Amino acid sequence: MLSPTNPIYCQDTVVVVAQRIVRHGSEEYNNRIKKDRAVFVQKYVDSINNYKVSKKDSFPAFFTTIDFDEKYGRQFNLTVNGKVSIRKLIIDQLTNENLMWRVKRSNDLRLKLKHEDKPPGIANYYDPIPFQQHSTYELVVMRLDEIENNRCLGIKEN
């Protein structure tokens, strides 16, 4: 019979699991971020390229979210100052010309809004996101120009 004063001689087994730390900035870390970014971008590219234009000024939410890079791009930066425009990466791979022409002909002001806010308290050291000064409308027009130029030069799109 065990009493509170008797020592207990049995213990549960303790299992310690340690996860290997991948250092920020290492080659393995950068490769993982690039792979995750490519998967994220491809998901949006596939979705937008398969989008059926049904009614006037009907666009995927991607086109009307002005702070898309701020919301989703931060997790794919390789360094603190090495920011990437996820919007630009997505739009550069678009092939849905019907949707892009609809964007170009649209009068929807949400497409022409720009997200240019600087974080509070940071004056001269703010490193903006590339292409942040361009609206989604401007990026789509640039992509359409690129497609037209490639056609004139005889370069096939992927």
Domain spans of the chain? 27-153
Between 59 and 124, name the one with better pLDDT: 59
How far the first Cα of the chain sits from its last, in Å, is 78
| pTM: predicted TM-score of the whole model, two decimal places | 0.75
Q: What would the two tokens of residue 48 be?
A: 């937008």
Q: What is the pLDDT of residue 38?
A: 94
Mean per-residue pLDDT for 57-84? 81
Distance CA 141, CA 94 (A): 12
